[in-house]
Amino acid sequence: MPDNPIYILAIESSCDDTGASVLANDKILSNVVAKQEIHEEYGGVIPELASRAHQVNIVPTVDIALKKAGINKSQLSAIAFTQGPGLMGSLLVGSSFAKSMALGLNIPLISVHHMHAHILAHFIDKGQEKPTFPFIGVTISGGHTQILQVNSFFDMEVLGETTDDAVGEAYDKTAKLLGFPYPGGPLIDKYAQQGNPKAFPFTKPKVEGLNFSFSGLKTQIMYFLQKESKSNPAFIKDNIADICASIQHTIVEILMDKIGKAVNQTGIKQIAIGGGVSANSGIRKALKDTEIIKKWKVYIPKFEYTTDNAAMIGIVGYYKFLEGNFADTTVVSKPRIEI
């Protein structure tokens, strides 16, 4: 570590997790996430409850992040925060906090695009190989499904994205139909590993180009379960592993089809994925297999840097700091922003 590293405090509050992280240059000193369990009983994130919980969590989360990092606030070089996209009420808590703290400490403020952060999480220094430009970035989570061509740190082009539900939403909504608690994606993944992926064939949506659509799949699965449960009320229980394996197989094929098209279209064979769904065993295996079969190079971040977290906001903050790309205090939160 150089003598005078840049210390950045980063704040993430775009959805239901309150995150705070401290970085010394591109190294993570702490990465704290306060989860909001309140949403579990509602089967999805309730925006009003999320913003209220951020208000409760933000101060202690930042405090713990600074203590864990062993850094005093007077040592901070800048404060980075998520500007958007995300839930307005949630974003506002993080941005207001970051602005006030930056003003109080008289240090620069850095606004960060949440999707840049999911991609640039691959540049957190963990002593591991990092992707080189250009590469294909794939963000798959409860809130996003995008394929991007990443030309440099801040030059990214969206090649395709979902036209309705995100892939994590498809997992969670389907999981709800199966009676799993929210978020049910990891449970579908767990049962899928014991089942037959070809037991129940589902039709894949036909969507132009590199875009996705998942809402039709969810409806198809709903009708299928209703029909089968009429003749056998215990159908779901009796076939849970095969149902999960079939759903997972379909979703993984949809993702892999489009990633394959992106590779063919661009000629780029480096793939870097991000977002909570990148923890999925099916997508990990399918991608890793391409390293042997198709000679792709696949980058999958550590789980703590791939779900919503502040360390990824901090790494973008670091690269923006190097460019002198600061925000002034009139910067506003944006639920939707172009990449």
Site residues (CB under 5 A) for Zn ion? Answer: 141, 308
- Residue 329 DSSP class: T
The sign of the torsion formed by the CA atoms of 254, 188, 236, 172 equals negative
Answer for the pair 44, 58: CB distance below 8 angstroms, yes or no. no
How many residues sit close enough to ligand KG4 to count as binding (CB under 6 A)?
18
For 301, the 3-state DSSP assignment is coil
142 binds, among Zn ion, ligand KG4, none (CB under 5 to 8 A by kind): ligand KG4
Residue 141 is a binding residue for ligand KG4 (CB under 6 A) = yes
The smaller minimum CB distance to ligand KG4, of residues 50 and 69, is found at 50
| Residue 79 C-beta: closest distance to ligand KG4, Å | 22
**Contact (Cβ atoms closer than 8 angstroms) between residue 188 and residue 174:** yes
Find out whether the peptide bond into 181 is cis, omega within 30 degrees of 0. no
Spatial CA neighbour of 202 closest among 256, 140, 248: 248
Given the complex with Zn ion, which of 118 and 249 has the nearer CB atom?
Answer: 118
Q: How far apart are CA 122 and CA 58, in angstroms?
A: 25
Residue 258: CB minimum distance to Zn ion, A? 19
Does residue 197 bind ligand KG4 (CB under 6 A)?
no
Q: How far apart are CA 9 and CA 63, in angstroms?
A: 11
C-beta of 272: minimal distance to Zn ion in Å? 15
Site for ligand KG4 in 5-34 (CB under 6 A): 15
Sign of the Cα pseudo-torsion (157, 163, 164, 168, in order): negative
What token pair was written down for 301? 């971040």
Residues 231-290 that bind ligand KG4 (CB under 6 A): 275-277, 279-280
Structure tokens at 226: 């209703």
Checking DSSP bridges between strand 7-12 and strand 18-24, what pairing results, if any? antiparallel
Select from 7, 50, 48 the least CA-distant residue to 25.
7
| Residue 84 sits in the site that holds ligand KG4 (CB under 6 A) | no
Between residues 189 and 242, which has the closer beta carbon with respect to ligand KG4? Answer: 189
Hey, which residues does 212 pair with through a beta bridge? Answer: 162
The residue among 83 and 141 lying less far from Zn ion, judged by its C-beta, is 141
Which C-beta is closer to ligand KG4: that of 134 or that of 195? 195
To Zn ion, the closest distance from the beta carbon of 118 in angstroms equals 6
Site for ligand KG4 in 165-194 (CB under 6 A): 168, 171-172, 183, 185-186, 189
By beta-carbon proximity to ligand KG4, the closer residue of 30 and 141 is 141
Q: Which of 49, 58, 10, 18 is nearest to 35 (CA)?
A: 18
Q: Which is nearer to Zn ion, 121 or 327 (CB)?
A: 121
Contact residues for 143 (Cβ-Cβ < 8 A; gap 6+): 14, 15, 85, 86, 166, 168, 169
Q: Of 5 and 44, which CB lies nearer to ligand KG4 in the complex structure?
A: 44
Residue 168 binding target from ligand KG4, Zn ion, none, CB below 5 to 8 Å by type: ligand KG4
State both tokens at 198.
């070809």
CB of 112 to Zn ion, least distance (A): 12
Minimum CB distance to Zn ion, residue 198 (Å): 32
Q: Site residues (CB under 6 A) for ligand KG4?
A: 15, 141-143, 168, 171-172, 183, 185-186, 189, 275-277, 279-280, 307-308
